[in-house]
């Protein structure tokens, strides 16, 4: 471990020298003056005074060396469309999009909300924003209108870029009515909405505010839009994520630090070299998509594969065939997808020539040992689990094979990544844990380049949420439990807060509770995450009704449950839909009225909830047990 240890030690003890070297990986229009400005902790400003541009680094810079290399391979198994773009073609498309945006008044510092399915235009729109110095905020296409409205009101965009429809599992999802509803719900009035017409929606939606992209693209076909040279710490994007409250947080990212961090990660963690092909099966609505579908592979001169579809359509061999057909070298997905693939006919994997594939990367949720063992055996390639968050933008824990190919430990995403000063701490005292002791995973100041700069529009929330939760310490809390062994490997043991992870999607249980409370039958509700063999976790809801007598019959209860899950679909989107909504007459609470969520989750997973000396009425636990029992498969 000597090489890794020395590398990590230098990054922590001499961060200025370490990151000064790494900064040479990207193009600086104006060199930076200071590597790290620590004058206002816990805020860290990297590469101050330096001017650069993400789009220049991702696209323009490659025009000299690799204009004819594929930059993007787009495959949709939903529409049967395949499109390829060289770096020169990507440059042209991004310039067209940037020119259209500019003609609509988009300028440096403005926000552009992107609500798009997985289509090439999503990449063009993100890069066009980066080019103009506008701040993109991509909202996952599976989110429902009220969710979208909340993000519109927080980001206050000057433009929304959307499409007529998305597609998933063979079903077309009309976007225009969602946009229409979101716009009418939002207090902020967005001046323009640009629509990419995929001609998928069954009916043409025409609202006076909708602008069709295609004729505008034609109009600006030969446009060249210069890159805005941004100061390294200007915002590049805002990406909303869930936390403890129902109000989503806008994670704000910088420009220079992010570019440097991603470029370095491509060598030390992903071992991706210019000319390689990388397939990250995620969505541009998530951080993995931002970092490893769009920015990192392009900055490093790779070919990135963007995929619309599921892993099992037309059949469970599709991803392996893509590896063969496009000679994919690096693949990155979430454990959920592998748990799905594990259930497919093994012949489907064996039939494909996977010789191009060097490494499989997995992140987003715990990688369970059986799945890890299955995939490494059947693939016969290194599998690199990596642990990180929307907030950090790139891995915190991983085996950094580009530094030293340490032996993986089953069930652990590995050791702290260079730049991250990781300490597990006692939840009550804030003191460091001994090896083998469970604690909160914390990061010392400063966070390395690329991590969130602040919460969009709310510096106080950044400090209060992330830097004030560990007693007696000013450290960043990941809100994850973990345990570290003597050699440094960390195992993740779940969240310390009310965030759950369903099929790799991060959801706040409070958001789901708020959606359910909106139904007038509901008096009180508790949502918890419980183990699920495929999705990692599933949400379960327990509700107390206002008028329980109305729902006495099984039929009335079943109808109500369907209505309640539909409410979540409408408010948040179907990804947040609870697996079950149970009806009880009281919820377990402390005498001071705090919901005992951990006790509910323990019962739902068949564990002992432990001693609960502060519980108001122990009968409430029995109610949860009864409800679970009544619904258990016989």
Return the number of other C-beta atoms located less than 10 Å from residue 206's C-beta. 10
Q: What is the β-pairing status of strands 438-443 and 422-425? A: antiparallel
Residues 165, 169, 171: CA angle, nearest 5 degrees: 45
Q: Which of 271, 480, 497, 513 binds ligand PRX (CB under 6 A)?
A: 480
CB of 148 to ligand PRX, least distance (A): 18
Measured from the CB atom, the residue of 288 and 576 that comes closer to ligand PRX is 288
Q: Which of residues 267-306 bind ligand PRX (CB under 6 A)?
A: 287-288
Q: Are 399 and 415 in contact (CB under 8 A)?
A: yes
Distance in Å, CB of 221 to ligand PRX, minimum: 37
- The answer to the question of residue 365 lying near ligand PRX (CB under 6 A) is yes
**Nearer residue to ligand PRX within complex by CB, 241 or 336:** 241
Applying the rule CB under 6 A, the residues between 33 and 72 that interact with ligand PRX are: none
**Least Cβ distance, residue 451 to ligand PRX (angstroms):** 12
Q: Work out how close the CB of 390 gets to ligand PRX at its nearest, in angstroms, rounded to a whole number.
A: 3
> Could you give the C-alpha distances from 211 to 80, 151, 301, in angstroms and in order?
26, 21, 33
Least distance to ligand PRX from the beta carbon of 244, Å? Answer: 12
Q: Closer CB to ligand PRX, residue 316 or residue 408?
A: 408
Nearest residue (CB) to ligand PRX, 213 versus 387: 387
Q: Nearest CA to 160 among 131, 128, 183?
A: 183
CB closer to ligand PRX, 228 vs 497: 497
Among 176, 210, 492, 627, binds ligand PRX (CB under 6 A): 492
- For the CA atoms of 107, 113, 119, 124, what is the dihedral angle to 10 degrees? 10
Sign of CA dihedral 418, 420, 425, 429: positive
> How near is the Cβ of 593 to ligand PRX at its closest, in Å?
27
Any alpha helices (H) in 304-458, and if so which ranges? 318-326, 335-342, 346-350, 369-379
**Dihedral through CA 601, CA 607, CA 610, CA 616, nearest 10?**
40
**Residue given tokens 């989750």 in the structure block:** 601
Query: Which CB sits closer to ligand PRX, 122 or 363?
Result: 363
Peptide bond into 42 cis (omega under 30): yes
Ramachandran assignment for 536, one of left (phi > 0), alpha (psi -120 to 50 degrees), beta (any other): left
Q: Write down the least CB distance from residue 613 to ligand PRX, Å.
A: 29
Min CB(311)–ligand PRX separation in Å: 18
Chain residues 439-478 in contact with ligand PRX, contact rule CB under 6 A: 478
Among 501, 509, 565, 571, the residue binding ligand PRX under the rule CB under 6 A is 501
Tell me how many helices (H) and strands (E) the chain has.
20, 32
The tokens for 31 are 């060199």
Q: How many chain residues bind ligand PRX (CB under 6 A)? A: 20
Could you tell me the sign of the dihedral formed by the alpha carbons of 530, 290, 313, 384, in that order? negative
The answer to the question of residue 529 lying near ligand PRX (CB under 6 A) is no
Q: From the CB of residue 89, how many other CB atoms can be counted at a distance below 10 Å?
A: 17
Q: Taking Cα atoms as reference points, which of 445, 335, 462 lies closest to residue 391?
A: 462
Q: Between 217 and 506, whose beta carbon lies closer to ligand PRX?
A: 506
CB 126 within 8 A of CB 118: no
Q: Judged by CB, which is closer to ligand PRX: 35, or 126?
A: 126
The residue among 146 and 289 lying less far from ligand PRX, judged by its C-beta, is 289
Question: Which residue's entry shows tokens 């599933």?
Answer: 538
Tokens standing for residue 499:
């965030």
Q: Which one of the spans 100-108, 142-150, 271-279, 359-367 is the region binding ligand PRX (CB under 6 A)?
A: 359-367
Give the single-character DSSP code of 582. Answer: E
- Does 364 participate in binding ligand PRX (rule CB under 6 A)? yes
Q: Which is nearer to ligand PRX, 336 or 390 (CB)?
A: 390
CB of 598 to ligand PRX, least distance (A): 16
What is the Cα–Cα distance from 324 to 360, expressed in whole angstroms?
14
Is 131 or 506 the residue whose CB approaches ligand PRX more closely? 506
- Measured CA to CA, the distance from residue 208 to residue 192 in angstroms comes to 10
Query: Do 422 and 441 form a contact (C-beta atoms < 8 A)?
Result: yes
Q: Which is nearer to ligand PRX, 257 or 395 (CB)?
A: 395
Contact letters for ligand PRX, residues 550-589 (x by CB under 6 A): ----------------------------------------
How far is C-alpha 361 from the geometric centre of its chain's CA atoms? Answer: 15
Minimum Å distance from CB 5 to ligand PRX? Answer: 22
Contact string 226-265 vs ligand PRX (x = CB under 6 A): ---------------x------------------------
Residues in 374-413 at the binding interface with ligand PRX, rule: CB under 6 A: 385-390, 413
Q: What angle do CA 486, 488, 492 make, to 5 degrees?
A: 105
Residue corresponding to tokens 């409800």 = 627
Cβ distance to ligand PRX smaller for residue 368 or 458 = 368
> Which residue is closest to ligand PRX by CB?
390
In the complex, the residues that contact ligand PRX under the rule CB under 6 A are 241, 287-288, 363-366, 385-390, 413, 478, 480, 492, 495, 501, 506
């Amino acid at each position: 471990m000597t090489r890794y240890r020395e590398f990590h030690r230098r990054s922590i003890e001499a961060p200025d020298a370490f990151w000064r070297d790494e900064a040479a990986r990207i193009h600086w229009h104006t060199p930076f003056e200071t590597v790290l400005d620590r004058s206002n902790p816990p805020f860290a400003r990297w590469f101050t005074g330096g001017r650069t541009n993400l789009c220049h680094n991702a696209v323009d810079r490659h025009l000299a060396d690799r204009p004819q290399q594929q930059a993007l391979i787009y495959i949709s198994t939903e529409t049967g469309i395949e499109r390829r773009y060289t770096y020169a073609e990507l440059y042209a498309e991004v310039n067209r999009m940037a020119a259209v945006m500019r003609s609509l008044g988009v300028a440096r510092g403005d926000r552009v909300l992107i609500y798009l399915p997985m289509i090439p235009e999503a990449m063009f729109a993100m890069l066009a924003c980066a080019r103009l110095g506008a701040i993109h905020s991509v909202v996952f296409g599976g989110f429902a209108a009220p969710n979208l409205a909340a993000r519109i009101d927080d980001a206050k965009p000057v433009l929304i870029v959307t499409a007529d429809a998305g597609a998933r599992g063979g079903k077309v999802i009309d976007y225009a009515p969602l946009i229409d509803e979101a716009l009418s719900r939002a207090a902020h009035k967005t001046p323009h909405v640009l629509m990419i017409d995929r001609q998928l929606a069954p009916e043409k939606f025409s609202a006076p505010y909708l602008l069709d992209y295609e004729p505008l693209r034609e109009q600006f076909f030969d446009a060249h839009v210069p890159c805005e040279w941004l100061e390294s710490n200007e915002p590049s994007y805002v990406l909303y994520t869930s936390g403890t409250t129902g109000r989503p947080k806008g994670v704000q990212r910088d420009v220079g630090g992010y570019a440097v961090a991603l470029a370095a990660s491509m060598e030390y963690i992903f071992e991706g070299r210019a000319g390689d092909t990388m397939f990250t099966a995620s969505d541009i609505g998530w951080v993995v998509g931002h970092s490893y579908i769009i920015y990192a592979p392009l900055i490093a001169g790779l070919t990135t594969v963007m995929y619309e579809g599921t892993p099992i359509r037309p059949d469970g061999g599709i991803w392996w065939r893509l590896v063969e057909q496009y000679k994919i070298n690096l693949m990155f997905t979430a454990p959920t997808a592998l748990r799905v693939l594990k259930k497919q006919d093994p012949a489907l994997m064996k039939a494909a020539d996977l010789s191009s594939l060097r490494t499989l990367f997995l992140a987003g949720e715990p990688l369970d040992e059986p799945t890890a063992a299955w995939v490494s055996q059947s693939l016969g390639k290194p599998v690199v689990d990596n642990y990180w968050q929307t907030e950090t933008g790139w891995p915190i824990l991983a085996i950094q094979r580009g530094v030293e190919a340490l032996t993986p430990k089953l069930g652990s995403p590995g050791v702290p990544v260079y730049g991250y000063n990781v300490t597990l701490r006692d939840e009550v005292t804030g003191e460091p844990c001994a090896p083998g002791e469970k604690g909160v995973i914390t990061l010392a100041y400063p966070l390395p380049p690329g991590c969130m700069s602040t919460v969009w529009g709310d510096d106080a929330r950044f400090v209060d949420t992330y830097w004030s939760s560990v007693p007696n310490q000013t450290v960043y809390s990941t809100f994850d439990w973990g345990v570290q062994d003597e050699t440094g490997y960390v195992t993740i043991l779940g969240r310390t807060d009310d965030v759950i992870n369903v099929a790799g999607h991060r959801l706040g249980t409070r958001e789901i509770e708020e959606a359910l409370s909106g139904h007038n039958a509901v008096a009180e509700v508790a949502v918890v995450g419980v183990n699920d063999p495929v999705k990692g976790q599933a949400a379960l809801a327990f509700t107390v009704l206002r008028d329980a007598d109305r729902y006495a019959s099984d039929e009335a209860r079943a109808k109500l449950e369907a209505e309640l899950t539909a409410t979540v679909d409408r408010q948040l989107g179907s990804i947040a839909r609870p697996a079950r909504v149970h009806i009880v007459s009281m919820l377990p609470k402390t005498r001071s009225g705090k919901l005992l969520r951990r006790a509910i989750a323990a019962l739902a997973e068949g564990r002992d909830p432990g001693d609960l000396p502060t519980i108001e009425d122990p009968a409430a636990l029995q109610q949860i047990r009864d409800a679970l029992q009544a619904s258990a498969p016989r």
